[in-house]
Amino acid sequence: MTYGIRPFTNRSDDGAPILDTNNNERLMRVQPNVSIVLGNHAPESNGTLYISSKQVVWLSDADRAKGYAVDFVSVSLHAVSRDPEAFESPCIYTQIDTGDEDDESESSDSESSETPMDLSKITEMRLVPSDPTQLDTIFEVFCECAELNPEPVEEEEEPHNWIFSADQLGAGIDGDIPEWNDIQIPFTIGHANGDDDLASSVLELQINDQRFEDAEEMESDNSDEHHH
Amino acid sequence: MLFFSYFKDLVGGEVTVELKNDLAIRGTLHSVDQYLNIKLENTRVVDQDKYPHMLSVRNCFIRGSVVRYVQLPPDGVDIELLHDATRREARGG
């Protein structure tokens, strides 16, 4: 998994980013006329923002070799920023997880316009649409996509065990605290005893429709006989 | 799932979310999802001197995986209910 912001140049002929459609990546929103501000660097203007179900991509309109992307799993926080004292233009403000926990809190201070940009160290990104009325919509698309990209399950992590014993399931249904248990019950059904039952149910559902074919053949046979 | 249920009960209340990068944001809990992603409204940054650029933000979405702590209002905790629910969850594990 790649943390942080990375260069992105993989465009199709019409200028749109080439997405990983084999893994169900799909385009959620296109926003033209968006500037991007990485860390404390100068704004880069005249680009198009592409929000996919996996990542945020900004592509320069003029320079086909220039573009940036960040996966939603690396977008720690996003917000609508409107106070001109904090930033001159209303924008989507994001904090980026670079995967480098040690200097995360101070790196934004050490960035400046003079130093060459190291994308992997950028911890803040602002997206400035020329049409600020679009900010709330973009914010909501970000929220939606963040939910589509939960944390990848780490192997070393102890797996959650959602299987409850039968008496606990009973206690949950009896429900002295139903509000807290009704969410757990679907998990119990799904994992503890759902799979086997489902498989056998599917088998039982297969309808033996042999007799329908027979009836049809007989009918056609009969009609043949009538013709004779 | 316990904490998802628990946080859902706190929606509308005032919380402070402390991120793993030390940023702490106070605001009204607007919503929480199953990954404990948190949406806050009427936000303000606790340490405004350190994060002046966050002053302008009125609502924000915080990824569940970057949250270190959520500070709760004292009256937002029903200790009896929480005891009981954690005991159930522990028995199930």
pLDDT digits (tens, 9 = 90+) for A147-181: 999 988 766 556 666 666 665 555 545 445 545 54
* B65/A171 touch (CB, cutoff 8 Å), yes or no: no
Q: Of A62-71, A131-140, A216-225, B36-45, give the lowest mean pLDDT range.
A: A216-225
Question: What domains, with CATH codes, occur in chain A?
Answer: 5-148 (2.30.29.30), 161-228 (no CATH)
Three-state SS at A216: helix
CA angle centred on A169, ends A167 and A173, rounded to 5°: 115
Q: Which of A75, A80, A83 sits opposite B55 (nearest CB)?
A: A83
ipTM of the complex: 0.85
pLDDT in tens, B17-60: 999 989 999 999 999 999 999 999 999 888 877 776 666 678 89
pLDDT at A99: 85
Higher pLDDT pick, A157 / B5: B5
| Contact residues, chain B, for A136 at CB < 8 Å | none
d(CA A151, CA A126): 23
Token pair for B92: 């199930």
Query: What would be the CATH architecture of the domain defined by B2-92?
Result: Roll (2.30)
* B84/A177 touch (CB, cutoff 8 Å), yes or no: yes
Contact with chain B for residue A1, Cβ under 8 A:
no
* B56/A104 touch (CB, cutoff 8 Å), yes or no: no
Q: Which of A78, A84, A124 sits opposite B61 (nearest CB)?
A: A78
Instruction: Scan residues 51-90 of A and list those with Cβ closer than 8 Å to B.
Output: 75-87
**DSSP string across A19-44:** P-GGGT--EEEEEEEEEEEETTSPPE
Residue with token string 């757990």: A184
d(CA A202, CA B66): 42
Chain B residue with the nearest C-alpha to that of A104? B21
Contact with chain A for residue B66, Cβ under 8 A:
yes
Q: Which of B38, B12, B6, B11 is nearest to B25 (CA)?
A: B38
Please give the single-letter amino acid code of residue B85: A
| Contact residues, chain B, for A187 at CB < 8 Å | 1
Q: Which of A75, A146, A180 sits opposite B85 (nearest CB)?
A: A180
Residue with token string 């030390």: B22
Q: Is the pLDDT of residue A62 over 80?
A: yes
CA distance B65 to chain A (A): 7
